[in-house]
Amino acid sequence: MTGYEYHRYTAYSRWRLGGRGGIRGGRPELFKKYRGSEIKKFPESLLKPDKKLMEVVLWRLPGSSSALFDENLLGLLFFLSYGIRPDSGLRGYPFRTVPSAGALYPCELYFCPDGIGPWEGGFYHYRADLHGAERIAKGGGSGSGLDVKVSVLPYRSAFKYGERALRYVLLDAGHLIEQIRMAGRIVGLEGLAYSGCEEPSVWEKAAGLSADHEVFIGGVRFGEPDCANLMPVMPIPEMQRCGELASGGDCGPVIREVLDAIRHGCFVFDEEPEIAGYEDESLPDISAFNAIIGRRSHRNYTGKTISYGVFDLFVRALGSLSDYSGFVVYFALAAVEGFTPGVYLLKADEAVKKGCEALGRIRSASVMTELAHACLGQGWMANGSFAVIIALSFEDAERAYGDRGYMHLMINAGRVGQRIYLLSEGFGLGCCGVGAFYDGDVSDVVPMDDDTYPVYVIPVGSRSR
Ligand SMILES: Cc1cc2nc3c(=O)[nH]c(=O)nc-3n(C[C@H](O)[C@H](O)[C@H](O)COP(=O)(O)O)c2cc1C
């Protein structure tokens, strides 16, 4: 089954809410542990670099130097990327810095540091629960940089969401990949995001992954690390057993087959074009650190109108990540200054330069209530000021990227989602990713072309205090 077929197969309708064929097992572990490995802790006290959220989200770093990288910054990079948020203690659950469908966190982080401070070369697994890393392979080369790899354990999500879970897993991975890139900028590194994995069997061996439970799905490369000749420090069957325990069960034949078909090979995402015309002083000056640790999904919107200027920045900043063949972005506008309520299609290739002028209206009606109904009746969405609806044209995606286009663009949808979360935080707004919807109903609300399928909906609004 290709990714495109999988997406159609897992569509929800009012009569069918997806299958669970062959998915079985117990409760997954929230944190993967390589039992018996040596753990290196990051320094407890976190540096708080003086970076503003908006400069991090909107602008690439002029240059980056991995030579400046020390272990304080490495610890901060991982904490900001996928650490446990400080408010988690109060809430009694280890919420992370990134959102995740159902807070199930199906991703794990690995990294290969090369010439980074006191870190010996090799391959490491990030332990969010201990704020440290375990060295799982020795080796590495003579380059300079850091390769951060994201793996997914689909059962962690499938035990709750059934076969539809792989959609959420890919979106979650995209959120995380974008967050790693942003965390990189905070610590002074500009990275390149990628989906998939070059030579998956080499990396799976280095981490002792069993592809039935966990596969590498993408990552971010900083500098030019040389991650050659990695030798696992534990017997591979022991490492695989750790992956099995972390997964907790069998994600079923459908998800396994689709992942197996799309995980080979690697696509690097384009460097985004610069967003010009915004002065630092005109932007909110919330610190990047505070925004990331304060981020949450918000569902309490007031319906207040969002100013043209703020919305224009959303359009440019989303457009800069959206210019991919087959990647389609719609905006459902309810309360945005200067716009008649309606559904608008984004011309992604013009968005960075033209902002709001790159939107063309395709439907005149305020559709937030309809959209909320289409999203399994999640009524809280109806008060949003606008919603972003991301869809894929399967024909265009397949023509441009082949079978793997599905994974590439789903991960990109997650990246765009993360950007919406960060921008919302920056402007004091709220947003929440929505992956649960009746697919055909969302297509009708928008309305979409026959070959275009919704993949992600993100309402945004001013939030009540
Ligand atoms: C891909 C994805 C899909 C999601 N779908 C929904 C949804 O349909 N409804 C909802 O209320 N929240 C949804 N969420 C939000 C998660 O429930 C939320 O991220 C999680 O509970 C963690 O909370 P936090 O974001 O406040 O850290 C989704 C999040 C992601 C990343």
Q: How far is the CA of 21 from the centre of ligand 1 (A)?
A: 24
Choose which residue among 95, 98, 100, 419 to substitute to test ligand 1 binding: the one with the highest number of ligand atoms within 8 A of its C-beta: 100
- Topology at the third CATH level for domain 297-462: NADH Oxidase (3.40.109)
| Window from 115-119, 278-282, 294-298, 327-331 with minimum mean pLDDT | 278-282
Q: How far is the CA of 35 from the centre of ligand 1 (A)?
A: 30
- Reading the block at residue 359, the tokens are 């939107």
Looking at the chain, the domain(s) classified CATH 3.40.109.10 span: 3-268, 297-462
- Reading the block at residue 34, the tokens are 């390589």
Q: Which residue bears the tokens 């200067």?
A: 338
Q: Whose CA is nearest to atom 30 of ligand 1?
A: 101
- Reading the block at residue 238, the tokens are 């022991």
- Residues 225-274: tens digit of each pLDDT: 888 889 999 999 999 999 999 999 999 999 999 999 888 889 999 988 88
Q: State how far the Cα of 287 lies from the Cα of 53, in Å rounded to an integer.
A: 5
Q: State how far the Cα of 275 lies from the Cα of 351, in Å rounded to an integer.
A: 10
Closest CA to 152 of 228, 71, 82: 82
Closest CA to 338 of 305, 303, 301, 381: 305
What are the respective helix, strand and coil percentages of the chain, to the nearest 5?
Answer: 40, 25, 35
Choose which residue among 297, 422, 455 to substitute to test ligand 1 binding: the one with the highest number of ligand atoms within 8 A of its C-beta: 297
- How much is the pLDDT for 87? 87
Q: Is 277 helix (H, G, I), strand (E, B) or coil?
A: coil
Q: Is 28 helix (H, G, I), strand (E, B) or coil?
A: coil
- Residues 79-104: tens digit of each pLDDT: 999 999 988 877 889 999 999 999 99
Confidence of residue 373 (pLDDT cuts 50, 70, 90): very high
Q: Who lines ligand 1 at CB under 6 A?
A: 95, 99-103, 168, 171-172, 175, 296-297, 378, 432-436
Q: How far is the CA of 456 from the centre of ligand 1 (A)?
A: 11
Q: State how far the Cα of 3 lies from the Cα of 217, in Å rounded to an integer.
A: 14
Q: Which atom in ligand 1 lies closest to the alpha carbon of residue 167?
A: 1
- The interface pTM score, or ipTM, of the predicted complex is 0.99
Q: Is 438 helix (H, G, I), strand (E, B) or coil?
A: strand
Per the CB < 8 A criterion, the answer to whether 314 and 431 are in contact is no
The amino acid sitting at 98 is: V
Per the CB < 8 A criterion, the answer to whether 160 and 102 are in contact is yes
Choose which residue among 434, 439, 457, 460 to substitute to test ligand 1 binding: the one with the highest number of ligand atoms within 8 A of its C-beta: 434
- Residues 28-74: tens digit of each pLDDT: 999 999 998 989 998 877 777 888 998 898 888 876 665 556 777 88
Q: Whose CA is nearest to atom 17 of ligand 1?
A: 102
Q: How far is the CA of 432 from the centre of ligand 1 (A)?
A: 6
CATH homologous superfamily of 3-268 equals NADH Oxidase (3.40.109.10)
Per the CB < 8 A criterion, the answer to whether 200 and 264 are in contact is yes
Q: State how far the Cα of 38 lies from the Cα of 24, in Å rounded to an integer.
A: 32
Q: Which residues pair with 457 in a beta bridge?
A: 389, 434
> In sequence order, which residues have a C-beta less than 8 Å from that of residue 61 and are 6 or more positions away?
185, 188, 189, 190
Per the CB < 8 A criterion, the answer to whether 414 and 150 are in contact is no
- Reading the block at residue 408, the tokens are 């590439």
Choose which residue among 432, 441, 455, 463 to substitute to test ligand 1 binding: the one with the highest number of ligand atoms within 8 A of its C-beta: 432
